């Protein structure tokens, strides 16, 4: 099967479940943010952020190692998972203790520390879920992790809503999140033994030293990357009010719902690129190029919709009387979105090519740049607009530009051709047309949602007319339509 079509097949399977998971998560987020209010929601978002920053290294980078090694040789599944699980167990317990100590040292409010005491257990659950997910990813069988994510979200929503209506607050929400994470790990652990790699004669287990050394680059990349992504929330918690953290959290949750698209795509892409880098370097370059074209075309309409309709989105989801300051934050984050989409894929290419150390060097510089920008811009915008979240969003945008430029240069020579820049330029031009349609429609009284739909239709028609989608994608969509038509006829 053509590599890009293999990626698209896995992406479509993952994407369909992720859409469901995202919709459920969006409903959960809306209910929680409305019921708790901006201050309590800010505390919850801050506690979750602190847990994420510390817990991102809980798998010791071994989920990526398992995905890359097992993708190339399925017989490595059992020995790598067993030894990696021991490392993860030791690492996560230690990190939980570190999280509690750091939260106390930084002097956060008692309410935040109490939430961290509970949510810190997510470090253990999510780390094991990532590790087991690496084995599914290596086999290009990512449906089970996706379905368990949906199940966890259903469980969270089903328990949180009645608890909030009964008067329970953030502590109850935190307990439910931990229980849902534990359920996800149990189901994945049971299902993973059905993978083909468990039916093969196991290869010799990797030496402990080799395993740990292989995980270190990914450990560094994940830890530094999460620091860059989340340090703005921590600094907001120290430099601005808890309500500001709530406004920023509301806007960030909307953007993160769309970030699942590149995350799912790179999850499907990584094992394919890892295999091609060794077996067929020319196909590696072609596959990365065509996938990048797809990412560029898909990211622009999402960014334009959020940019032009931020007030409608925030008003619909969170109400403007409490979360109106989230509107300018969301608009700035919308501009960052295409860069985030592209950076996910470029970093995936670096990792598949074994250049994770270059990425560590790049993100290490960003770990200095981003906090400095946060310190300056949060304080400035808090003084000017009483909204430090604007400064945090501007700092993130600047950092994403830096990461994009550096990652592009770090890719192997001649990996990408100039066609990527042509596709990006054309997609941006079509995005301008989309924005004109949306703003023009709203100017004559069309509500924001129908206006956004009209703009999206105009963009899609223009993409089709200009033939910007890669031929593989067009053929895959055509085959999908034919199969659905045949299924309807058979029924």
Please tell me what DSSP assigns to residue 325. T
How far is residue 329 from each of residues 226, 235, 255, 303, 375, measured CA to CA in Å?
20, 16, 11, 13, 17
- Provide the pLDDT for residue 267: 65
Cα diameter, the chain: 69
| Percent composition of the chain: helix, strand, coil (DSSP 3-state, to 5) | 90, 0, 10
> Which among 425, 421, 368 is positioned nearest to 398, based on CA atoms?
368
> Which among 203, 234, 248 is positioned nearest to 374, based on CA atoms?
234
Instruction: Find how far residue 6's CA is from the centre of its chain.
Output: 21
The model's confidence at residue 446, banded by pLDDT at 50, 70 and 90, is: very high
Q: Which residue has the tokens 């570190």?
A: 98
For residues 418-443, give the mean pLDDT. Answer: 87
Q: What phi and psi values does residue 11 have, to the nearest 5 degrees?
A: -65, -40
> Which among 318, 73, 107 is positioned nearest to 202, based on CA atoms?
73
For residues 362-371, give the mean pLDDT. Answer: 92
The model's confidence at residue 215, banded by pLDDT at 50, 70 and 90, is: confident
**Pairwise CA distance, residues 48 & 61, whole Å:** 20
pTM, whole model, 2 decimals? Answer: 0.76
- How many other CB atoms are found less than 10 A from the CB of residue 322? 19
**Pairwise CA distance, residues 477 & 489, whole Å:** 18
Token readout for 209 is 């030293």
**Pairwise CA distance, residues 17 & 34, whole Å:** 26
For residues 247-258, give the mean pLDDT. Answer: 88
- Strands (DSSP E) contained in 356-438 are none
**Pairwise CA distance, residues 406 & 50, whole Å:** 27
Please say whether the beta carbons of 314 and 328 come within 8 A: no
Given CA atoms 432, 434, 437, 440 in this order, what sign does their dihedral have?
Answer: negative
Q: How far apart are the first and last CA of the chain?
A: 28
> For helices 281-308 and 419-443, what crossing angle results, to 10°?
20
Percent of the chain topping pLDDT 70: 89
Q: Which residue has the tokens 């817990």?
A: 55
Please say whether the beta carbons of 345 and 272 come within 8 A: no
For residues 282-311, give the mean pLDDT. Answer: 86
> For helices 170-191 and 110-119, what crossing angle results, to 10°?
20
Considering the chain, what is the average pLDDT of its residues? Answer: 84
The model's confidence at residue 12, banded by pLDDT at 50, 70 and 90, is: low
Higher-pLDDT residue of 483, 200:
200
**Pairwise CA distance, residues 422 & 454, whole Å:** 25
């Amino acid at each position: 099967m053509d590599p890009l079509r293999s990626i698209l097949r896995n992406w479509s399977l993952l994407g369909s479940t992720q859409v469901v998971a995202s919709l459920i998560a969006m409903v959960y987020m809306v209910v929680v943010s409305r019921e708790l209010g901006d201050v309590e929601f800010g505390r919850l978002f801050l506690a979750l952020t602190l847990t994420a920053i510390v817990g991102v290294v809980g798998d010791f980078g071994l989920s990526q190692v398992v995905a890359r090694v097992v993708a190339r040789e399925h017989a490595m599944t059992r020995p790598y998972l067993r030894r990696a699980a021991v490392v993860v167990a030791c690492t996560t317990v230690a990190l939980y203790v570190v999280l509690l100590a750091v939260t106390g040292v930084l002097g956060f409010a008692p309410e935040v520390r109490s939430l961290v005491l509970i949510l810190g257990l997510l470090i253990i659950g999510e780390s094991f879920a990532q590790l087991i997910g690496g084995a599914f990813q290596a086999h290009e069988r990512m449906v089970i992790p996706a379905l368990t994510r949906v199940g966890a979200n259903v469980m969270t929503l089903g328990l949180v809503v009645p608890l909030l209506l009964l008067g329970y607050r953030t502590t109850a929400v935190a307990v439910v999140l931990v229980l849902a994470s534990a359920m996800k790990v149990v189901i994945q652990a049971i299902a993973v033994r059905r993978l083909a790699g468990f039916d093969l004669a196991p290869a010799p287990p990797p030496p402990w030293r080799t395993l740990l050394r292989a995980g270190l680059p990914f450990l560094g990349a994940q830890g530094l990357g999460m620091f860059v992504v989340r340090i703005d929330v921590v600094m907001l918690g120290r430099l601005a009010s808890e309500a500001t953290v709530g406004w920023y959290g509301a806007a960030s949750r909307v953007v993160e719902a769309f970030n699942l698209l590149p995350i799912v795509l790179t999850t499907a892409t990584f094992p394919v690129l890892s295999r091609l880098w060794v077996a067929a370097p020319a196909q590696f370059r072609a596959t990365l190029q065509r996938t990048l074209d797809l990412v560029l075309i898909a990211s622009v309409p999402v960014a334009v919709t959020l940019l032009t309709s931020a007030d409608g989105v925030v008003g619909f989801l969170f109400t403007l009387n409490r979360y109106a300051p989230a509107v300018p934050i969301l608009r700035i984050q919308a501009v960052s979105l295409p860069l985030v989409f592209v950076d996910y894929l470029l970093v995936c290419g670096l990792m598949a090519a074994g250049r994770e150390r270059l990425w560590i060097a790049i993100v290490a510089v960003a770990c200095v740049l981003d906090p400095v920008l946060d310190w300056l811009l949060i304080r400035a915008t808090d003084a000017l607009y009483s909204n430090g979240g604007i400064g945090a969003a501007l700092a993130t945008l600047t950092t994403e530009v830096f990461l994009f430029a550096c990652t592009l240069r770090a890719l192997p020579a001649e990996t990408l051709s100039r066609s990527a820049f042509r596709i990006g330029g054309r997609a941006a031009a079509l995005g301008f047309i989309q924005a004109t349609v949306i703003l023009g429609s709203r100017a004559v009284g069309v509500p924001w949602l129908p206006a956004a739909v009209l703009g999206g239709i105009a963009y899609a028609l223009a993409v089709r007319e200009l033939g910007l989608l890669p031929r593989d994608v067009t053929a895959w969509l055509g085959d999908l339509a034919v199969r659905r038509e045949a299924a309807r006829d058979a029924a």
